[in-house]
Each structure stands twice: as C-alpha cells, then as structure tokens.
Amino acid sequence: MRINHIVFLMIVLLAGPAALGFGGGAAEGTDVPGDQPLEKITLVLDWVPNTNHTGAYVAQAEGFFAQEGLDVEIVQPSEIGADAMVAAGRAEFGFSYQEGVTFARTAQNPVPVVSIAAVIQHNTSGFAGPASRNLEGPADFEGKRYGGWGSAVEEATIHALMEQAGADPSTVEFLNIGSADFFQSIQRDIDFAWIFWAWTGIEAQIRGVELDYVDLGKVNPVFDYYTPVIITSESLIEEEPGLISRFLAALTKGYEFAMTQADAAAAILVEAVPEIPLELARESQAFLADQYQAEAPVWGHQRREVWSRYAGWLYGEGFLEQQLDVDQAYTNEFLPR
C-alpha cells in the first residue's frame, strides 16, 4: 500500500477520454448450474491487494456478491489506472482516491467517474521517519530530506503543513525515490516519507522499527480526505442503478464482516492473496476495523465538506484546471438504507 496517487492521476489526465475509448464494458451473464445466472462484473483495485480491499475479498469468499446475483472478478489495475479503466467501461467498479476522482473530473478532458462509497472514513496516511530523527510535528521537517515521487502536490502539502507550524519549508530537501523500499530508504537516503499507517506503519511495529509519525488528517482537516473510495462511471449510474445498489449491498456486508471479525477477515484476505504475511494482515486489519466506518452513520458514507475543502485547497494551489462540481463527484444514493 503506497502513496502513489499522483503517478496514476497524471496517467489519467494524459490519457483523456478519447484515447481511452469510453463507452464499452457491458456486464455479461454466466450460467450457474442449479442456480440463477450470475451477472459477471469486474472490480479493479487501485494497487496490489492489501487490507484496504479486505471487504471485497470477504464479500467474494462469503458469498455476499453471489447473494446479490453477482459474479465479481477482482483484478489489479492495468497501466492506465483504475479510474481510466472504470471510465472506459473495462471494469464496472474500482478502488480510487478522493484526489484521483477530483483530478479526473476537473481535467481539461474530464474523466466521468463518481465516488459511490468511502472505504475508510479518515485519511490514515502521514509522514514518518525513524524516531531518531525527532519528527514530532511538521516544524521538525526543517533541514530534513523527504523521499517521495517528485510530485508538486507532495511538495505543496509539506509546505502547507510547515507554514501552518511556522516553519521554513525551503530548508527541506526533496528527493525522488520512486518505488524504493521505505525501510531501506530511511536507513541511508532520506529522513522521512509519506506512508499509510495501516500498512507500512504496522509493518514497522512488527519489525521493531520505532517511527515518529505525523498523522496528516489530524494536523490539518483539509488533508483528512477519503482514501480510498469506491468508484463507478456516470454511464453505469444512468443505465444500471440497480446493479450499483446490489454491488454496494454486498460490499457493505464484506466491510461489516471485516469490522466485527477482523481476524477472520484477515485470514480470508491471506487465503485469497497468499503473498500477504498473515501477521501483517491481522495487525493491519485490527487497526482498520475501527477506521472503516468510524463515526459515520453507515459504512461508505461520504460528507460534502470533506470533498469541498480538499478540492478548494487543490484549486487554490493551482493544481486543478477548473473548480470541482462537488455534488457530481460523489453520491451516497446507492448505499444500503
């Protein structure tokens, strides 16, 4: 689980709707002996499988999708990214991020994807480095080396946090480390990086690596955005709203299972994806069990102010081609009532 959002956001923007061939992707029917035909659909992940995706694997393994008449294939994204695959009809549903949907919908050639559920209620990412570097808050970034992906949004985020703390962001050295391993990088090249606590932070605890961690969503509410979210296309909303309701009914059961039976959910994830270490899955799942819904009335619920304030910040910083129409970017309409 890496903070690689900006990489595929740029892919989305560069690809554009014409190049991606929007408009295809009708769901197929599959005959199941002794049962009603299941409707075959595709769910594309945003990255390699991890505990952000547990609810989907649970819904598949526990038969929640089948109960809604769905045969769901879970796939990893192609080189064009999940947003573009969904918008182009190559997958009916996908995992994305609030910033991904925001950039997609405000691009010069807008990508028509809509967020239909928040997987986690609060941003569980932040900036982390070895405890020996004394990174207790953004002011402590002064004079440090930051390792990231070389995106302008990363730099602007750090600048905003440091200026809020009265620190000088010009003293930070920004290094592009690409997909280099976090644990190796903090030993030799950098002082801090942007991580998801539910994955890399938990892995550090298991390894016995003591980290200082600046929780992004807690130091400034602007950055407490939804990451990840579930998306679909505008065309599917218009043409098959019932399919979206059935998909989310099953997916909600999957995440509710993960919230109440974290160990069992972790075991299901590892059975589906044996490459994931069981201890990491269990510890990460235990952490996320309280994060999926948090204080929201139901799993998946999204608030307008969360969408509005981050889009407003991105626009004010000059990252968006145009203002985001927030009410078109997300909906709670299809969540179970």
| Tens-digit pLDDT profile for residues 303-326 | 999 999 999 999 999 999 999 999
- Please name each of the domains of the chain with its CATH number: 39-121+226-328 (3.40.190.10), 125-223 (3.40.190.10)
Q: Quick one: pLDDT at residue 88? A: 93
pLDDT over 90 percentage in the chain: 86
In the chain, count H helices and then E strands. 15, 11
Which of 43, 81, 7, 34 minimizes the C-alpha distance to 230?
Answer: 43
| Tens-digit pLDDT profile for residues 126-138 | 999 999 999 999 9
Residue 224 and residue 104: Cα distance in Å, rounded? 19
Asked if 28 and 77 count as a contact pair (C-beta separation under 8 A), the reply is: no
Which of 132, 55, 56 minimizes the C-alpha distance to 92?
Answer: 56
Which of 188, 184, 189 minimizes the C-alpha distance to 200?
Answer: 184
| Tens-digit pLDDT profile for residues 278-295 | 999 999 999 999 999 999
The CA-based dihedral angle spanning residues 46, 47, 48, 54, taken in that order and rounded to the nearest 10 degrees: -40
23-36: buried (b, 16+ CB within 10 Å) or exposed (e) per residue? eebebeeeeeeeee
Cβ neighbours of 138 (radius 10 Å): 24
Residues 6+ apart with CB under 8 A from 108: 13, 16, 321
* pLDDT above 50: residue 19: no
* pLDDT above 80: residue 275: yes
pTM of the model: 0.89
* pLDDT above 90: residue 143: yes
Residue 3: pLDDT band with limits 50, 70, 90? low
Asked if 169 and 162 count as a contact pair (C-beta separation under 8 A), the reply is: yes
106: tokens are 């405000």
Q: Per-residue DSSP letters for 144-202?
A: PEEEE---HHHHHHHHHHHHHTT--GGGPEEEE-TT--HHHHHHHT-SEEEEEIIIIIH
Residue 81 and residue 95: Cα distance in Å, rounded? 10
Ranges of H-type helices in 202-277:
202-207, 216-219, 234-239, 241-260, 262-272
